[in-house]
């Protein structure tokens, strides 16, 4: 099917299906118009797709071959350069179109700036938002722009969506106060463990939108990202959390955001691609 705002791009090497038949539908959002430090998130979706070429589709610890699952890739959203609001409106419309064509498909966004998660959340209307991120992203506005990447969790919270954040190690006092006022739970990267995750996520209402800002990981895994921060989580920390969520909660949508870089084979994209395979594999076990 054709979408209003998407175009074809490099695809996974799997036999892909049409979105109408897909359990999973990949959508790239190559936007980096409000990036404040390291540029290049516009190349994130392409770099992640390319990095998947390095991976076996068979997942050893799940005994599942994700190439046999019905996966669609509808390409990238045609972004409006420099305009996060217009771009996020296009993300919203595209995800709405997709869900209309196939209400059962799980959208998977590959980004691109975190600002763009807002469009997917607006389209999917989850009750909860679980995010792995180094940053609180609870600013009311940043650089005079309420749709800046540093404000995305604030905009989502204003929609009345319950939030829980993990791997946090950067924010302002104002953001911490806002979180306290609004009852937004967050766990510092230093204090993160699986039990802390389950305790906070268990009571959250469903469905849940799950967002992974790639900067949540230890810097050695993700050197190419918009706002890198030392002291992050391990790969398996996040995989184990995803496994618990997939087994215990209904997932409205999933994204991996803030992957940047300029070179094929970038470590950050390799981390993101492996995480993408684990997410699809974990979801595939539940099909």
73, 76, 133, 255: which one binds Mn ion (CB under 5 A): 133
Min dist. Cβ of residue 215 to Mn ion (A): 4
Stretch that binds Mn ion, among 48-56, 74-82, 133-141, 159-167 (CB under 5 A): 133-141
Q: Please say which residue, 50 or 135, places its beta carbon nearer to Mn ion.
A: 135
Q: What span, in angstroms and rounded, lies between the C-alpha atoms of 221 and 272?
A: 9
Chain Cα centroid distance, residue 60: 24
Q: Which residues, in sequence order, are CB contacts of 244 under 8 Å at separation 6+?
A: 194, 197, 198, 201
How far is it, in rounded angstroms, from Cα 62 to Cα 126?
A: 27
Q: Which is nearer to Mn ion, 213 or 266 (CB)?
A: 213
- One symbol per residue from 87 to 126: x for binding Mn ion (CB under 5 A), - otherwise; what is it? ----------------------------------------
Residue 32 touches Mn ion, criterion: CB under 5 A: no
Q: What is the DSSP letter of 204?
A: P
Q: Distance between CA 12 and CA 4 in Å, rounded?
A: 22
**Within positions 198 to 217, which residues make up the interface with Mn ion, using CB under 5 A?**
213, 215
Q: Residues 92, 135, 155, 249: which binds Mn ion (CB under 5 A)? A: 135
**Residue nearer to Mn ion on the CB measure, 36 or 54:** 36
Task: State which residue, 111 or 281, has the beta carbon closest to Mn ion.
Answer: 111
Give whichever of 48 and 134 is closer to Mn ion, judged by the CB atom.
134
Toward Mn ion, which CB reaches closer, 11 or 38? 38
Size of residue set near Mn ion by CB under 5 A: 5
Q: CA geometry: angle at 281 spanning 279 and 287, to 5°?
A: 110
Which bin fits 63, alpha (ψ -120 to 50), beta or left (φ > 0)?
left
DSSP assignment of 137-188: ---S-BTTBTTSGGGHHHHHHHTT-EEEEEEE-B--HHHHHHHHHHT-EEEE
Q: Is 139 in the site for Mn ion (CB under 5 A)?
A: no
Interface with Mn ion by CB under 5 A: which residues?
A: 133-135, 213, 215
């Amino acid at each position: 099917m054709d979408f209003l705002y998407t175009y074809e791009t490099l695809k996974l090497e799997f036999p892909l299906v049409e979105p109408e038949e897909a359990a999973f539908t990949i959508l790239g959002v190559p936007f980096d118009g409000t990036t404040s430090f390291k540029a290049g998130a516009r190349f994130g979706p392409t770099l992640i797709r390319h990095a998947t070429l390095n991976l076996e589709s068979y997942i050893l610890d799940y005994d599942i071959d994700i190439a046999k699952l019905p996966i669609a890739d509808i390409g990238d959203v045609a972004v409006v350069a420099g305009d996060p609001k217009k771009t996020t409106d296009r993300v919203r419309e595209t995800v709405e179109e997709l869900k209309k064509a196939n209400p059962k498909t799980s959208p998977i966004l590959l980004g691109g700036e975190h600002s763009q998660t807002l469009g997917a959340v607006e389209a999917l209307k989850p009750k909860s938002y679980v995010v792995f991120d180094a940053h609180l992203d609870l600013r009311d506005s940043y650089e005079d722009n309420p749709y800046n990447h540093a404000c995305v969790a604030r905009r989502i919270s204003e929609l009345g969506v319950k939030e829980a954040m993990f791997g946090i190690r950067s924010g302002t006092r104002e953001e911490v106060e806002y979180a306290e006022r609004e009852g937004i739970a967050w766990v510092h990267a230093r204090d993160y463990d699986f039990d802390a995750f389950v305790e906070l996520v268990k009571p959250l209402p469903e469905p849940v939108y799950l967002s992974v800002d790639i900067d949540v990981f230890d810097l050695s895994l993700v050197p190419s990202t918009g706002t890198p921060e030392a002291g992050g989580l391990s790969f398996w920390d996040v995989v184990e959390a995803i496994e618990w969520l997939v087994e215990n909660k209904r997932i409205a949508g999933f994204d991996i955001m803030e992957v940047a870089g300029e070179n094929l084979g970038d470590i950050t994209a390799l981390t993101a691609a492996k995480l993408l395979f684990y997410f699809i594999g974990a979801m595939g076990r539940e099909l």
